[in-house]
Amino acid sequence: MFEFESSNRREFLHRSASLAAAGGMFGIAGGSLAAEPAKKKAAVRGRAEHCILIWLAGGACHVDTWDPKRKSTGRKDPGSYYESIPTAITGAKVCKHLSRTAPLLDRGVLIRSLHHDVVDEHAAATNRLHTGRPTSGTIVYPSIGSIVSHEKGPGGEGVPRYVVMGYPNASRGPGFLGARQSYIYLTETAAGPTGLRRPADISAARQARREKLLARVREQYVKRSRGDARVEAYAAIEEEALRLTGPKFMNTFELAREPAALREKYGSEFGQRLLLARRLVQSGVRFIEVTSNLNFKNGTGWDTHNQGQLKQHELIDELDRGLSSLLLDLEKQKLLDRVLVVVATEFGRPPEFDGGGGRGHQSAAFSVALFGGGLKTGQVIGQTNELGKKIVDRPVGVPDLHATIHATLGIDPAKELYDGDRPVPITDGGKAMGELFG
């Protein structure tokens, strides 16, 4: 459900606009600018039109998922917690609980050498993956979702550009791009966006009169506040919120329109979010983030310290079921080449176990998976050592990951945006991974 589901419609529109405007002012600050913009712009080769980011909040363990090592024999023996299985990529194995996705890896790319320098701060690491930069006190950087929203524009009439299915925070925000590039968010698919629905006791004619009056008031206020970017952003997002009440966007949430067998394949609430993500793509939404395990199914989520390790397989299985269903569904709908699916997390976890039998944090080497998007798939990029603690081949920095995602979507990673008069490159010197583009 939307956070605002208990509010009346007018309050919802007011608060959603305020939230979006605040996101433009108070997002987590990003890092420094690249030293010098490249003289020659990077080639933009991608043809994807949409991105679905599956976010494994808490720090998913790479050696227990995408980069398995030898199986541990006990708490004092570092290694993977589960046995591994072969995949559609020759020589590449994954955790046995990814058995549905393993045969589909020819549609994907495993990047096993992602790294950054944030270890113990979940919020800072989450911000790093979402903005592609370290934090700084001089500028508020936009999230990758907001940049895609800004660069790709609306993909349809009466639909948002950017949707987050999960709890909102500043790392997902628009930064200096302003409120129009913020997101709407949903935390439960079954309830749908009730805050956008016209109350039953308000007729269509009465609602039209209200909106006409509101438009006049808004126009007069903007005129009186000419030049105030915050007021202009508020007015713009309010108008956009009203357009979202139309039938095209609202019908997207009617999952009952999908065949029961398909809904069953997707599985749990997380799977239903992924099914909804496919419908949002079809409606024209450019960037959708879907958070895995909002309610800590295993007690700790992907942050598997201590006892969280014991039921980590439940999360992996849920991911496997939903992800494999999404990939096959997109393929059936002939959308997989047009949609980039990214499975990411803030950092990985070491092969050693802590005193409670779980794992700590590790950012020096971890994994992310990309699927579809018209990429040259069926590849493994990068390699870690025998226990997954160090990168031994093809390091990939977070700016490079961002550059690759942008390039896949036809966005030039070297393009400069502007925070006022200050030029800001879209990525922090990132280079798209050329081996992923045919």
Q: In 3D, which of 4, 1, 59 has the Cα closest to residue 293? A: 59
Tell me whether residue 219 is in a domain.
no
Q: Confirm if 300 and 354 have CB atoms less than 8 A apart.
A: no
Longest dimension (CA), the chain: 71
Most trustworthy range by pLDDT among 57-71, 216-230, 288-302: 57-71
Tell me whether residue 308 is in a domain.
yes
Three-class SS state of 94: strand
Q: Confirm if 323 and 300 have CB atoms less than 8 A apart.
A: no
Tell me whether residue 239 is in a domain.
no
H or E stretch including 181? none
Give the pLDDT of residue 410: 97
Q: Which residue has the higher pLDDT, 5 or 322?
A: 322
Q: How many whole angstroms separate alpha carbon 329 and alpha carbon 236?
A: 35
pLDDT digit string, tens, across residues 134-174: 988 889 999 999 999 999 998 988 899 999 998 788 899 99
Q: How many whole angstroms separate alpha carbon 27 and alpha carbon 42?
A: 28
Tell me whether residue 86 is in a domain.
yes
How far is the CA of 390 from the CAs of 317, 345, 383, in angstroms?
A: 27, 18, 9
Tell me whether residue 238 is in a domain.
no
Give the pLDDT of residue 298: 67
Question: Residues with Cβ < 8 Å from 97, sequence gap 6 or more?
Answer: 82, 313, 316, 317, 320
pLDDT digit string, tens, across residues 169-178: 889 999 999 9
DSSP 226: T
Percentages (nearest 5) of helix, strand, coil residues in the chain: 40, 15, 45
How many helices (H) and strands (E) would you count in the chain?
10, 15
CATH for 254:
3.40.720.10
Question: Taking residues 401-414, what's their average pLDDT?
Answer: 97
Q: Confirm if 27 and 170 have CB atoms less than 8 A apart.
A: yes
Tell me whether residue 216 is in a domain.
no
Q: Residue 138: how many CB atoms within 10 A of its CB?
A: 11
Q: Which residue has the higher pLDDT, 246 or 110?
A: 110
393 token code pair: 């081949």
pLDDT digit string, tens, across residues 49-84: 999 999 999 999 999 999 999 999 999 999 999 999
Q: Confirm if 255 and 195 have CB atoms less than 8 A apart.
A: no
Three-class SS state of 317: helix
405 token code pair: 């995602």
Residue given tokens 């803030």 in the structure block: 346
DSSP 312: H
Strands 339-344 and 184-186: unpaired
Q: How many whole angstroms separate alpha carbon 57 and alpha carbon 74?
A: 26
Q: Residue 43: how many CB atoms within 10 A of its CB?
A: 13
- Tally the domains of the chain: 1
Q: How many whole angstroms separate alpha carbon 362 and alpha carbon 69?
A: 16
Three-class SS state of 418: strand
Q: Quick one: CA torsion of 385, 389, 393, 396, rounded to 10 degrees?
A: 160
106 token code pair: 């020819």
Residue given tokens 């903007």 in the structure block: 222
Tell me whether residue 65 is in a domain.
yes
Q: Which residues pair with 425 in a beta bridge?
A: 416
Q: Which residue has the higher pLDDT, 33 or 373?
A: 373
The answer to whether residue 205 scores a pLDDT higher than 90 is no
Three-class SS state of 54: strand
Give the pLDDT of residue 3: 37
Average pLDDT taken over every residue of the chain? 87
Structural domain span for residue 113: 9-207+246-436
Q: Which residue has the higher pLDDT, 225 or 294?
A: 225
Q: Which residues pair with 74 in a beta bridge?
A: 77
The answer to whether residue 22 scores a pLDDT higher than 60 is no
Q: Confirm if 351 and 79 have CB atoms less than 8 A apart.
A: yes
Which of 241-274 are b and which e, b meaning 16 or more Cβ less than 10 Å from the residue's Cβ? bbebbeeebbebbebeebeeeeeebbbebbbbbb
Tell me whether residue 131 is in a domain.
yes
Three-class SS state of 346: coil
pTM of the model: 0.86
Q: Confirm if 27 and 391 have CB atoms less than 8 A apart.
A: no
pLDDT digit string, tens, across residues 347-397: 999 999 999 999 999 999 999 999 999 999 999 999 999 999 999 999 999
